[in-house]
């Protein structure tokens, strides 16, 4: 499977660390939509065990309905390296929108066993742009 870039790994890892031991966390900023973070099921990959991790922009005023979301597999290497990106491996798995759902990794049971390389590369590039926007908007402050 194709990993995201080092920069994108850093951003996903920072969101991942915000969730801690919880399974879901909402980040609310002023007049911006709520950003919902959700840790899902354990998934086994070629890089080791990881978890599904969804970052979703919720529709303002409609609980549980997302405007846009991306799902990743996050493999926490359980290291304590000084650079955050050295502690995680991140694979993009899906892009979800109101009426659009595109998976680039096939998961059956708890095994990620097939992927579309072109789609995964595209999802990784898109993730970089979208996560940079979330950073700029302030969702990663504190």
pLDDT value for 111:
86
Is the separation of the CB atoms in 35 and 58 below 8 Å?
yes
Is the separation of the CB atoms in 64 and 58 below 8 Å?
yes
11, 104, 44, 83 alpha-carbon torsion, rounded to 10°: -20
Q: Cα dist. 89→77, 83, 99, 101, 105 in Å? A: 7, 13, 29, 23, 15
Is the separation of the CB atoms in 50 and 89 below 8 Å?
yes
Domain ranges in the chain are 6-136
pLDDT value for 55:
96
pLDDT value for 85:
79
Residue among 12, 138, 141 at smallest CA distance from 75: 12
pLDDT value for 63:
67
Using 70 as the pLDDT threshold, list the residues of the chain that sit under it.
61-64, 142
pLDDT value for 50:
94
Q: What is the pTM of this model?
A: 0.90
């Amino acid at each position: 499977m194709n990993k995201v870039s080092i920069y994108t790994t850093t951003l996903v890892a920072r969101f991942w660390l915000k969730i801690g031991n919880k399974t879901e966390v909402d980040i609310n900023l002023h007049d911006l939509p709520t950003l919902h973070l959700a840790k899902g099921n354990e998934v086994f990959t070629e890089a080791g065990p990881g978890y599904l991790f969804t970052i979703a922009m919720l529709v303002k005023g409609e609980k549980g309905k997302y405007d846009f979301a991306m799902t990743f597999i996050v493999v926490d290497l359980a290291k304590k390296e000084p650079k955050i990106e050295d502690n995680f491996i991140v694979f993009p798995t899906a892009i979800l929108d109101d009426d659009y759902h595109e998976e680039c990794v096939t998961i059956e049971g708890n095994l990620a066993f097939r992927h579309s390389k072109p789609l995964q590369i595209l999802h990784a590039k898109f993730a970089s742009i979208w996560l940079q926007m979330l950073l700029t908007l302030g969702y990663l402050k504190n």
